Amino acid sequence: MAEDVITTTGIARHGATRLPSVDIDSFNLELKDEDGFLGDRATKGAFRKILDSLRKPLKKNGEDPLGRKSAEAIGKSALDEALVGDDIGAAALVHGAIEEFAQELAHVTRRILKTKAWADTERIVVGGGFRESRVGELAIARTDIILKAEGFSIDLVPIRYHPDDAGLIGCLHLAPSWIFEAHDSILAVDIGGTNIRCGAVETRWKKAPDLSKAEVWKSELWRHADDEPTREGAVKRLTKMLKELIALSETEGHKLAPFIGIACPGVINEDGGIEKGAQNLPGNWESSKFNLPASLAEAIPQIGGHDTAVLMHNDGVVQGLSEVPFMQDVGHWGVLTIGTGLGNARFTNRRKDDGKNKKDEKGKDK
């Protein structure tokens, strides 16, 4: 049975709170205020709304330096260009939106940091699609300054990898290190409300056992939102993408591990079902009759002659995991992913950078 393959000895369960390098203290935290979910105040859509609100009085006079397009229709690159262009008015508008958004992000972050699960957080990395623009980087930097000015001893920094790669590279940290010893790469899947991305990720484990040199060797993107497939159609297309990567890896001489890591929105149950948070995916992914890891294990029962293990976790968690090698100088850290929603996860490191288990005050292994 597919479920028997998924829970292979030595592989964590889906949505596990204990992983090889970190304990997950919290993820997919949903705070509310009088206006609804607090995280909705710090998303890509929230930034666009702020920008449009600043433009509204200018539009009445026909003096909007950003033109007639709505903020939603203006690309990230166009906004980045406005920041450095000759039109001072356009630059001022974008800077104004960055300032207001940073205040909102600071407010949301402040509330998150006051929860018990996020106590003593030392650093927060910020990923998601918003981060990959200059506008996003400035908003993150401004939020960091606001929080420090308020006395928070915390660093807010952009995620190191491109967000598209981070969601795939993070899958490496779902697997135990022994799975890499005879292999040089894994298959990874990053599922979003608009896109599904598959990739073959090189571990480069022999050069850096902490996986700090890992990189995406090959990836493929499918904008499922354009095709509006059924749930079964989406799984069929995903399976095809993975099989193509397996064939290409074999042709190029890569030694794929019999492991598929999946980053998926929502609260992931240990059996691979999705409890909630998958409403933007094609079809009903929260049905008790649907199990994506089991479906993939059934469709791809073996990789390289070995039984396939499939492990799925929350997409915000997985994107954050890509930072594990670079967070060894702190004990407690978190991730915020700014996209359609605001993803979040908080981690506690379990190992030092030498790979040995941390010791408690009495010198015993934790």
Q: Are residues 78 and 140 both part of a single domain?
A: yes
295 belongs to a structural domain: yes
- Terminal alpha carbon distance of the chain: 35
Q: Are residues 121 and 208 both part of a single domain?
A: no
247 belongs to a structural domain: yes
Mean per-residue pLDDT of the chain: 89
pLDDT tens figures, 230-248: 999 999 999 999 999 999 9
Q: Are residues 190 and 263 both part of a single domain?
A: yes
Q: Are residues 132 and 176 both part of a single domain?
A: no
Tell me which residue of 220, 178, 226 sits closest to 201, measured CA to CA.
220
Cα–Cα distance measured from residue 288 to residue 64, given in angstroms and rounded to the nearest whole number: 50
Q: Are residues 212 and 263 both part of a single domain?
A: yes
Q: Which structural domain range is residue 114 located in?
A: 32-158
Cα–Cα distance measured from residue 344 to residue 318, given in angstroms and rounded to the nearest whole number: 10
Q: Are residues 177 and 302 both part of a single domain?
A: yes
pLDDT tens figures, 124-142: 999 998 999 999 999 999 9
Q: Are residues 210 and 151 both part of a single domain?
A: no
Q: Are residues 172 and 307 both part of a single domain?
A: yes
State which of 139, 158, 177 marks the end of a domain. 158
Q: Is 54 helix (H, G, I), strand (E, B) or coil?
A: helix
**CATH number of 169's domain:** 3.30.420.40
pLDDT tens figures, 337-363: 998 889 999 999 986 544 444 434 344
* pTM for the full predicted model: 0.88
pLDDT tens figures, 169-183: 999 999 988 888 889
How many domains, the chain?
A: 2
